[in-house]
A and B are shown apart, each in its own frame.
Chain A
Amino acid sequence: MKKNKLLVIIPAFNEDKVIGKTITAVMAAVPEGTSVLVVDDGSNDSTGELAKKAGAIVLRHPINRGLGGALGTGLYWAKIKDFDWCVTFDADGQHDPRDLAKVLEPLYSNSADVVVGTRTKLGWREIPGDRKFILSLSNWLTWWLFGIKTSDSLSGFRAFNRRAIEKIQLRTDRMEVSNEFFSEIKRHKLRLAEVPIRVIYTDYSRLKGQKNSNAVDVGVKLLLRLFR
């Protein structure tokens, strides 16, 4: 009987301070035989080398393409290597690997094609005030543009089954990819589930995350996509 294959995708750009620790923690939390893929998005530090040393498969972009580009590569890899499920996971330590099993559960029980780990149910208090505003705005935009109600449109903790891996085609390359996932979910009528997850904000992860000033740029690009 064919064993189901699970892939954890970690997009990373200049994360040499934390990538080893993140990979080790993920590997300790996943079933044996799970593959961990780090998409090194054109880092100019030793992210790729340290990721390989920690036991991850590493794909390296020759130039930085942004979060969307890295996730697109990860999903493409999952598709061509016939993975049955994949999970995207942040490299900066914001996600708790102990939530991996929870996020995968709706896929295992075939009650969803895409699962989003939502920070707002367990970790709303931990989310900084300015990020709360941006997140609320993004959730509203996702509902207005794509008709999908979500409590965390910007979550980087997402899981996909084979059907979603095959259907989802990412075109955006920067931070607007978070909203593009919902556009694809609607386009392909994928079943979406949300699972509460913990959020670990540190000074380091805040520095690496989306800058608030990018929010306008992301919003405009999303609107532009509507008219293509």
Chain B
Amino acid sequence: MIFAFTRVWLRMREGSIGIGMFIFWIVIWGLALVAVVKPGVTTSVANRLGIGRGVDAALYISIVLLFYLNFRSNVMMENLRHEINKLTREIAIK
């Protein structure tokens, strides 16, 4: 966890990620830290969601989050391809 926090902090300092992305990952790792330090939190979340165990709730939420992040990456890649197209077009027309 400490390693993860330090990586996020370093990437923000060197400008690889913006403030929005920094806050997002701090929140994610923060929630992971809370789940590790206070397992009772995951149990109460699981009870609210109607899932048996806290660790199951953590797994299900992680999977949903991973799918969403993968989808976002796909969309970003498509946008990048579009930008490359635009550049290629400008070079061809010059």
Contact = CB atoms under 8 A, between A and B. Distances in A.
B48 interface: no
A76 B84 CA distance: 15
Contacts of B81: 173
Contacts of A62: 88, 91-92
B82 A39 contact: no
A224 B84 contact: no
Nearest to A62: B91
Interface in A54-87: 59-63, 65, 68-69, 72-73, 76-77, 80
Contacts of B71: 227
B75 A76 contact: no
A3 interface: no
Nearest to B74: A224
Nearest to B94: A59
A224 B75 contact: yes
B38 interface: no
B47 interface: no
Max count, chain A CB within 10 A of own CB: residue among B71, B84, B89, B93: B89
A124 to B, nearest CB: 34
B78 interface: yes
A80 B92 CA distance: 14
A80 to B, nearest CB: 8
A204 B51 CA distance: 59
A228 interface: yes
B82 A61 contact: no
Contact of A65 (B74, B75, B78, B85): B85
A173 B89 CA distance: 12
A221 to B, nearest CB: 8
Contacts of B91: 61-62
26 contacts: A39-B92, A59-B93, A60-B92, A61-B92, A62-B88, A62-B91, A62-B92, A63-B84, A65-B85, A69-B88, A69-B89, A72-B85, A73-B88, A73-B89, A77-B93, A80-B93, A171-B85, A173-B81, A173-B82, A173-B84, A221-B78, A224-B74, A224-B78, A225-B78, A227-B75, A228-B75
Given A61-B91, A76-B89, A76-B93, 13 more contacts: A59-B93, A61-B88, A61-B92, A65-B88, A69-B85, A69-B88, A69-B89, A73-B88, A77-B93, A171-B85, A173-B84, A173-B85, A225-B78
